Amino acid sequence: MKVGVLGGGQLGRMMALAGVPLGQEFVFLDPAEDACAGVVGDLICAPYDDEAALAQLADAVDIVTYDFENVPVASARSLSDSLPVFPRYQALEVSQDRLREKTFFSDAGIPCALFASVDSYDDLVSAADEMGYPCVLKTRRMGYDGKGQRIIQDRQQVDQAWSDLGGQALILEAFVRFKRELSIIAARSTRGETVFYPLTENRHKDGILITSFAPANAGLLVERARAYAIKVLDNLDYCGVLTIEFFDVDDGLVANEMAPRVHNSGHWTIDGAVTSQFENHLRAIMGWPLGSTDPVGASAMLNWIGAMPDPSNALSYPNAHWHDYGKKPRAGRKVGHVTINAENILALQAELGKFALALGEQLKESGVEAFTRGH
């Protein structure tokens, strides 16, 4: 079975690392010559809308999926004329545009921040004044890792935000004062089987995910997150892994965004769950039975941003799992992660304490103390 993947980044790379033992082979389409999934499959290096490249991919594979939600919808749609493409392209349409995504959440009865469409300076001023401060101005399309966003603290900062982002389709959102961020990862197979991973607690710095802990101590929020995920899965006739990011606020969960794909907040599942999100994504799109999502103890995942540190410190601990994506160092870029796994939360805390030297500043910012206090 050959799987075609639109996008050849670290998510595609980890997907192939899960799929090869299942007997699959991988072909990636990515415009970057040094796309890091190239070492685990064939790489077609071309723009996502290159018709010859899409035809070459369709010829080479049996099924298509994505590691990136910003591929042109038209490419996914045209591929779906000749072979199965999962998740269906409709999920891309919703998640590529923050305005459509928020509208979709509110139509489905899933709480999200107040939002307004912004196409002009006047739109921005009136929406911000009505919504109140602080608020967050975001590009509707192509944002990731906090890029294309400005927090507007007060009326004086409106002009700066407009001069930074104006001239493209924008959305203004109320700033949500959350206690913590949580995500849910669900998988639904083409046969309709649905499974959920435990909720993950996530910390961001400058809009970039730096740490995930699982399983989060989330009590009744687990059922609520699952109910919201089911609405999304049902409304999109979804197949594959789906992620929804939430803010935990006093009276429940507020949806922030969704990703129609495997997700950084699920990387802990490689080393900390019976079946990884990557394996379950592949099983789901193949129509195979899904694997257990049970956690194996407790896990902490720390992202390496910008450049990989020396692994020798972290690897001197037996419970560390090292993941180097083989990407060139660049400020703000996710280049790898480490997962630390322990029998339970207390043991995880002790284990992370031992890592203090190896992990340095990042451990201080990681939120591990709040996470363990919450349990």
* By the rule CB under 6 A, 279 interacts with ligand ADP: no
Among 6-14, 142-150, 227-235, 353-361, which window interacts with ligand ADP (CB under 6 A)?
142-150
What lies within 8 Å, CB to CB, of 103 at 6+ separation is none
- Sole window of 65-73, 80-88, 144-152, 275-283 interacting with ligand ADP (rule: CB under 6 A): 144-152
Residue of 246, 219, 244, 232 lying closest to 109 (CA atoms): 232
Residues in binding contact with ligand ADP, number by CB under 6 A:
15
The DSSP output letter for 260 is S
Q: What would the DSSP string read from start to end of 223-254?
A: HHHHHHHHHHHHHTT--EEEEEEEEEETTEEE
Query: Both tokens of residue 276?
Result: 């990884």
> Given the complex with ligand ADP, which of 5 and 254 has the nearer CB atom?
254
Return the number of the residue (84 or 146) whose C-beta is nearest ligand ADP. 146
Nearer to ligand ADP, 142 or 350 (CB): 142
In the three-class reduction of DSSP (H, G, I as helix; E, B as strand; rest coil), residue 80 is classed as coil
Residue 141 found at the interface with ligand ADP (CB under 6 A): no
Give the burial class of 241: count Cβ atoms within 10 A of its Cβ; 0-12 exposed, 13-18 middle, 19 or more buried: buried
| Sign of the CA dihedral with 27 first, then 19, 277, and 288 last | positive
207 sits near ligand ADP (criterion: CB under 6 A) = yes
257 near ligand ADP, judged by CB under 6 A: yes
Beta-carbon contacts of residue 152 (< 8 Å; ≥ 6 apart) = 128, 133, 134, 135, 136, 137, 158, 161
Q: Which region, judged by CB under 6 A, interacts with ligand ADP, from 16-24, 59-67, 76-84, 140-148? A: 140-148
Q: How far apart are CA 64 and CA 2, in angstroms?
A: 9
Selected binder of ligand ADP within 27, 57, 136, 285 (CB under 6 A):
136
User: Would you tell me how many other CB atoms lie within 10 Å of the CB of residue 21?
Assistant: 8
What is the tally of helices (H) and strands (E) in the chain? 15, 17
Among 10-18, 168-176, 229-237, 333-341, which window interacts with ligand ADP (CB under 6 A)? 168-176
* Contact call for residue 44 and ligand ADP (CB under 6 A): no
Phi, psi of 324 (to 5 degrees): -110, 120
- Pick one of 145, 159, 324, 365: the residue that binds ligand ADP (CB under 6 A): 145
Q: How far is the CB of 113 from ligand ADP (least distance, A)?
A: 5
When asked if residue 291 is in the footprint of ligand ADP (CB under 6 A), the reply is: no
Q: How far is the CB of 4 from ligand ADP (least distance, A)?
A: 25
Least distance (Å) between residue 67 CB and ligand ADP: 15
Q: Does 256 bind ligand ADP (CB under 6 A)?
A: yes
176 contacts ligand ADP (rule: CB under 6 A): yes
Q: Taking contact as CB under 6 A, which single stretch among the options 10-18, 172-180, 297-305, 350-358 is the one that binds ligand ADP?
A: 172-180
Closest by CA to 198, choosing from 213, 178, 180, is 213
- Residues whose CB is less than 8 angstroms from the CB of residue 31 and which lie 6 or more positions away in sequence, other chains included: 45, 46, 47, 48
Which of 30, 67, 245, 279 touches ligand ADP (CB under 6 A)? 245
Helix intervals (H) in 150-263: 158-165, 221-235
User: Whose Cβ is closer to ligand ADP: residue 93's or residue 257's?
Assistant: 257
* Distance of closest approach, residue 281 Cβ to ligand ADP, in angstroms: 19
What is d(CA 355, CA 347) in angstroms, rounded to the nearest whole number? 12
**Per-residue contact flags (x/-) with ligand ADP for residues 79 to 118, judged by CB under 6 A:** ----------------------------------x-----
d(CA 284, CA 187): 7
Indicate the residue among 249 and 308 with the shorter CB distance to ligand ADP.
249
Contacting residues toward ligand ADP, per CB under 6 A:
113, 136, 143-146, 173, 175-176, 181, 204, 207, 245, 256-257
